[in-house]
């Protein structure tokens, strides 16, 4: 997904639960007084939270996390009783559900779920379906990919139809990738497994190919490929402002990123920066990496007033006007169809007409062997 460090932690949430001055025990039949959410910070809109609190006479209590692993650990330690709502992306909701941290949800109770783009409607988006009965376990929210942003004046668009672009010696010293090891390894895995032809062979887990579940042979070849790539890179950027400067200055002609810098470059041009034909490739012939952020209801929420409040909150968050604000603030594409209330420039900027490409992307997942992946990355860095 886009660089979470830069985009998902950019807004400070307002409001904490006021301390009670005397002991008070609420009767079990009374309406809830809190909705507690474990979420990414950049998706919190203070004005919407205030309106939700005032309308429902409750306090919205957010707790923020930096990444899926942190949220997962919080939920495992009694978190399903401490949080009502949680956000996650890619295949992480399936992991939460397998470990009984989530409950199933009812789209009929959330009217704005009818406004999803075709790819994210209940019948089409299988990532949020429970394996057994096919019930839904969450609501898609925002989406994106770890694609290639490039200067089409210096890199022919057909070159970006393959991941070979990011390992092409013709662009030596003019390429850049992020410093995030999981995305680097998973993207290299798509190229390596395509070269080896190993995708069609029986996989280690007996399931269809997943770039996060790799054999030792594949990891060895990935390490070699990333070491080769290292000599071609100008740098591995640490944050989006750095990559923005590298691309705008022309020092870098192609880079893998979450499309946020692509949006910043287009916005800068509309505000008077020199015109450059920047484009963003989501899916290459070997495949691509995608993510979909979701709203989930924890297994600690039972049928009743608290569940109704959770549905009400999610319904507000996925309404078209609110989603448009979130897209602008967080710099990401939304799963809700906003084309009718957006300009042509906004449709291009937020990839609104390209949502069909998400269907062919491999969703972010947890590496099957974090220790092996970390060892591969350490060897690449030391090379």
Instruction: Tell whether 262 and 311 lie within a shared domain.
Output: no
3-state helix/strand/coil string of 181-236: HHHHHHHHHHHHHHHHCHHHCCCCCCCCCCCCCCCHHHHHHHHHHHHHHHCCEEEE
Phi (first) and psi of residue 49, to 5 degrees: -65, -45
Residue 355 in any domain: the answer is no
Secondary structure letter of residue 61 according to DSSP: E
Instruction: Tell whether 282 and 328 lie within a shared domain.
Output: no
Residue 358 in any domain: the answer is no
Residue 193 in any domain: the answer is yes
User: Which two tokens mark 367?
Assistant: 């590496």
Residue 357 in any domain: the answer is no
In the numeric block, the tokens 């692993």 are attached to 69
176 alpha-carbon distance from chain centroid: 21
How many angstroms separate the CA atoms of 297 and 89, rounded? 14
Instruction: Tell whether 369 and 225 lie within a shared domain.
Output: yes
User: 300-311 burial by CB neighbour count: b if 16+ within 10 A, else e?
Assistant: bbeeeebbebbb
Residue 154 in any domain: the answer is yes
Prediction pTM value: 0.82
Instruction: Tell whether 154 and 227 lie within a shared domain.
Output: yes
Instruction: Tell whether 323 and 251 lie within a shared domain.
Output: no
Give the max Cα distance, the chain.
Answer: 71
Q: Residue 320, SS3?
A: helix
Q: Residue 335, SS3?
A: coil
Instruction: Tell whether 335 and 369 lie within a shared domain.
Output: no
- Determine the pLDDT at residue 31: 59
User: Which two tokens mark 125?
Assistant: 């988006």
In the numeric block, the tokens 């420039």 are attached to 345
Which domain, by its residues, includes 27?
4-143+292-350
In the numeric block, the tokens 């609501």 are attached to 139
How many angstroms separate the CA atoms of 375 and 319, rounded? 44
How many angstroms separate the CA atoms of 160 and 344, rounded? 24
Domain holding 108: CATH number? 3.40.190.10
Instruction: Tell whether 151 and 56 lie within a shared domain.
Output: no
Q: Do residues 226 and 188 make contact, with C-beta atoms less than 8 angstroms apart?
A: yes
Residue 359 in any domain: the answer is no
Give, for all 383 residues of the chain, the pLDDT tens digit: 333 343 333 322 333 222 222 333 333 344 578 999 999 998 999 999 999 999 999 999 999 998 888 999 999 887 788 999 999 998 899 999 999 999 999 999 999 999 999 999 998 998 899 988 889 999 999 999 999 999 999 999 999 999 999 999 999 999 999 998 999 999 999 999 999 999 989 998 899 999 999 999 999 999 999 999 999 999 999 999 999 999 999 999 999 999 989 999 999 999 999 999 999 999 999 999 999 999 999 999 999 999 999 999 999 999 999 999 999 988 889 999 999 999 999 999 999 999 999 888 999 888 989 999 999 999 999 99
Q: Which residues in the chain belong to E strands, given as ranges?
A: 34-39, 59-64, 85-89, 139-145, 147-151, 175-178, 233-237, 254-257, 278-281, 289-297, 333-334, 362-363
Number of domains in the chain: 2
How many angstroms separate the CA atoms of 209 and 191, rounded? 13
Question: How many CB atoms are closer than 10 A to CB 380?
Answer: 22
Instruction: Tell whether 334 and 378 lie within a shared domain.
Output: no
Instruction: Tell whether 368 and 243 lie within a shared domain.
Output: yes
How many angstroms separate the CA atoms of 373 and 273, rounded? 40
Instruction: Tell whether 375 and 256 lie within a shared domain.
Output: yes
Instruction: Tell whether 91 and 171 lie within a shared domain.
Output: no
- Determine the pLDDT at residue 11: 29
Instruction: Tell whether 8 and 66 lie within a shared domain.
Output: yes
Residue 32 in any domain: the answer is yes
Residue 356 in any domain: the answer is no
Q: Do residues 380 and 230 make contact, with C-beta atoms less than 8 angstroms apart?
A: yes
């Amino acid at each position: 997904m886009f660089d979470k460090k830069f985009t998902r932690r950019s807004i400070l949430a307002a409001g904490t639960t006021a301390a009670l001055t005397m002991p008070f025990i609420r009767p079990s039949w009374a309406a809830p007084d809190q909705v507690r959410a474990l979420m990414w910070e950049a998706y919190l809109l203070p004005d919407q939270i205030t309106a939700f609190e005032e309308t429902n006479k409750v306090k919205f209590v957010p707790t923020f996390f930096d990444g899926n692993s942190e949220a997962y650990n919080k939920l495992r330690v009694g978190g399903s009783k401490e949080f009502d709502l949680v956000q996650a992306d890619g295949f992480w909701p399936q992991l939460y559900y397998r470990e009984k941290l989530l409950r199933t949800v009812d789209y009929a109770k959330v009217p704005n779920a009818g406004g999803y783009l075709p790819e994210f409607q209940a019948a089409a988006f299988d990532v949020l379906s429970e394996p057994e009965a096919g019930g839904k376990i969450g609501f898609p929210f925002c989406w994106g990919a770890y694609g290639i942003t490039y200067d089409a004046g210096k890199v022919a668009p057909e070159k970006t139809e393959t991941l070979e672009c990011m390992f092409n010696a013709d662009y030596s010293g003019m390429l850049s990738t992020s410093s995030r090891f999981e995305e680097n390894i998973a993207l290299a895995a798509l190229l390596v497994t395509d070269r080896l032809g190993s995708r069609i062979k029986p996989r280690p887990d007996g399931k269809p190919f997943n770039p996060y579940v790799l054999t030792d042979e594949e990891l060895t070849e990935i390490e070699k490929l990333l070491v080769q790539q290292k000599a071609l890179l100008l740098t591995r950027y640490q944050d989006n402002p750095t990559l923005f400067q590298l691309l705008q200055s022309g020092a870098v002609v192609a880079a893998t990123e979450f499309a946020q810098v692509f949006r910043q470059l287009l916005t800068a041009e509309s505000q008077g920066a020199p015109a450059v034909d920047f484009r963003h490739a989501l899916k290459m012939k070997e495949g691509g990496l995608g993510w979909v952020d979701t709203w989930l209801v924890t297994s600690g929420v039972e049928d009743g007033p608290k569940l109704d409040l959770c549905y009400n909150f999610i319904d507000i968050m996925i309404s078209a006007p609110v989603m448009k604000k979130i897209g602008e603030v967080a710099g990401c594409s939304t799963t809700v169809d906003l084309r009718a209330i957006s300009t042509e420039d906004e449709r291009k900027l937020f990839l609104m007409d390209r949502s069909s490409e998400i269907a062919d992307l491999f969703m972010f997942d947890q590496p099957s062997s974090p220790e092996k992946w970390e060892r591969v990355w350490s060897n690449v860095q030391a090379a």
